[in-house]
């Protein structure tokens, strides 16, 4: 059985003044990739995650799409 999931967490500091979005990508119970709005791009933790992070970080539309999700946390 193979399992793919992602989990998004909205972290609030001082109400909605400072909002941080952390999206974790997990495959077979192992976190391999994450997006942190404070960092502003994807970070890989495994060879597969590093490959995807490099690919997704090179696409400005994908990075901007993820960055824009911080506004969804505010509402």
Q: What is the pLDDT of residue 14?
A: 83
The Cβ-side half-sphere exposure at 20, using a 13 Å CA radius, reads 10
Residue 11 is part of a domain; what is its CATH number?
Answer: 3.10.320.10
Q: What is the DSSP letter of 3?
A: -
Q: What is the pLDDT of residue 72?
A: 85
15: containing domain:
4-73
In order along its 75 residues, the chain shows pLDDT tens digits of: 788 999 999 999 887 788 899 999 999 989 999 999 999 999 999 999 999 999 999 999 999 999 888 888 877
Q: What is the pLDDT of residue 71?
A: 83
In sequence order, the β-bridge partners of residue 12 are: 19
Q: What is the pLDDT of residue 61?
A: 94
Joined together, the tokens standing for residue 5 give: 């999931």
pTM recorded for the entire structure = 0.85
**Domains: count for the chain:** 1
Backbone Cα Rg of the chain: 13
Joined together, the tokens standing for residue 34 give: 């994450």
């Amino acid at each position: 059985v193979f399992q793919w999931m992602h989990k998004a967490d909205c972290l609030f500091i001082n109400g909605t003044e400072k909002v941080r979005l952390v999206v974790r990508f997990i495959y077979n119970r192992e976190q391999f990739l994450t997006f942190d709005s404070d960092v502003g791009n994807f970070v890989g933790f495994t060879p597969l995650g590093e490959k995807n992070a490099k690919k997704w970080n090179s696409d400005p539309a994908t990075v901007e799409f993820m960055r824009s999700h911080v506004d969804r946390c505010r509402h």
